[in-house]
């Protein structure tokens, strides 16, 4: 029985969209895998952008390491892929249709060479029978990171009124008589957050303006928070800065990525755009239909829903920084260790939801996998 992992943490230092907690998330997960799950340090590959002596988390390097991880897995093995960093969504090409969410959900490597949900599906579908891959993604829009995998816990496709109903049912409390307006406002704000809209429009920019401000809990602990969301226009601006290309067209971003990164870009971009040139695919074909295999051997634990944002947290007093979802996972696993018991995938996600809600985070973690993995122990 083999145990191997690839851990990605991207803080984007020196950029307008710099984060603080992503590399810390990786180090905590590395320690967790070794101490709680018996992984050998030599079997854990780390990609971070704050240490030039480490493998850099470029698009090519992430693709290569995940491909290598999956290829190495055999029946009975346990594989882990952890990502902490920015997530973004790119709209369909001009004249083409999007997927079921209307966007392609992506993770954002340090060189802006995006990795899309279709790619993750294709790679996960290559996991060998009897081998298990657990993906933890602490990034925005992470609920849609593996296209077409069954949603076990989540509301990514619920209608707004269903979300209101569930919000009321989960609270288990009646709205206060003298505060009904505030109560209804809190529901509306939760729905706006679910749709990726904050009460401040500053997050369309970068840098310090992306911080949503301070939150003070009952313990008098104060946090600065910044979403791990990279708006599409901010992404295009960063891509222009990093490549020196000023004529990037938002409506043709896939062609642009192929031109800029060539063979290091998405294989799906290469294949679909090549076929489009030969008029061999339909306008709505994203490339995922080319792979008939089902991505049943992968488990995704997402930090939020497809249309939500995950938070990057900085504790003012202590200077600690981490992803809200990553911190929830580590806290819950530590408690389970103290109780000397294993925790299931479903239990971990449900507990993470409660943990985050109690701390006033609007993000709602999700679980995406085949039915057989729902009540299996987390990782192994």
Based on its alpha-carbon atoms, the radius of gyration of the chain, rounded to whole angstroms, reads 20
Instruction: Give yes or no: 86 in active site.
Output: yes
Q: For residue 117, what are the CA distances in angstroms to 90, 98, 249, 344?
A: 11, 12, 21, 25
Q: How many CB atoms neighbour CB 116 within 10 A?
A: 27
Looking at 22, 32, 82, 86, which residue is catalytic? 86
Closest CA to 288 of 264, 262, 273, 268: 268
- 260: its two tokens: 């800029």
Q: For residue 254, what are the CA distances in angstroms to 115, 229, 244, 285?
A: 11, 20, 17, 13
Distance (Å, whole) CA 107 – CA 71: 21
DSSP annotation of 337 reads H
Instruction: Give yes or no: 157 in active site.
Output: no
Looking at 140, 269, 304, 369, which residue is catalytic? 140
For the chain, helix, strand, coil in percent to 5 are: 40, 20, 40
- β-bridge partners, 3: 78
Catalytic annotation, residues: 86, 140
């Amino acid at each position: 029985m083999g145990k191997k992992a690839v851990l990605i943490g991207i803080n984007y230092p020196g950029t307008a969209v710099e984060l603080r907690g992503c590399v810390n998330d990786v180090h905590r997960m590395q320690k967790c895998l070794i101490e709680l799950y018996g992984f050998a340090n030599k079997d854990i590959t780390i990609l971070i952008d704050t240490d030039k002596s480490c493998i850099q988390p470029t698009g090519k390097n992430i693709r290569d390491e995940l491909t290598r991880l999956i290829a190495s897995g055999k029946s009975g093995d346990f594989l882990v892929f952890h990502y902490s960093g920015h997530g973004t969504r790119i709209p369909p090409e001009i004249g083409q249709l999007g997927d079921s969410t209307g966007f392609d959900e992506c993770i954002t490597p340090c060189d802006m060479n995006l990795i899309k949900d279709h790619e993750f599906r294709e790679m996960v579908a290559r996991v060998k029978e009897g081998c298990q891959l657990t993906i933890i993604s602490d990034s925005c829009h992470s609920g849609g990171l593996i296209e077409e995998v069954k949603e076990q816990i989540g509301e990514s496709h619920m209608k707004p009124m269903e979300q209101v109903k569930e919000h009321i049912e989960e609270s288990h409390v009646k709205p206060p008589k003298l505060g009904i307006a505030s109560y209804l406002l809190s529901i509306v704000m939760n729905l706006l957050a679910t749709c990726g809209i904050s009460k401040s429009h500053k997050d369309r920019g970068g840098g310090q303006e992306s911080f949503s401000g301070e939150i003070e809990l009952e313990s008098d602990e104060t946090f600065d928070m910044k979403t791990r969301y990279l708006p599409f226009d901010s992404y295009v601006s960063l891509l222009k800065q990093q490549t020196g290309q000023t004529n990037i067209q938002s409506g043709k971003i896939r062609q642009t990525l192929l031109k800029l990164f060539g063979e290091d870009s998405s294989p799906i971009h290469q294949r679909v755009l090549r076929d489009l040139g030969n008029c061999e695919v339909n306008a709505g074909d994203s490339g995922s239909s080319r792979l008939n295999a089902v991505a049943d051997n992968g488990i995704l634990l997402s930090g939020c829903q497809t249309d939500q944002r995950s938070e990057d947290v900085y504790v003012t007093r202590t200077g600690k920084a981490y992803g809200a979802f990553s911190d929830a996972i580590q806290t819950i696993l530590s408690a389970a260790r103290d109780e000397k018991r294993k925790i299931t995938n479903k239990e971990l996600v449900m507990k993470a939801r409660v943990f985050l809600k109690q701390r006033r985070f609007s993000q709602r973690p999700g679980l995406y996998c085949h039915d057989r993995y729902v009540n299996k122990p987390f990782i192994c």
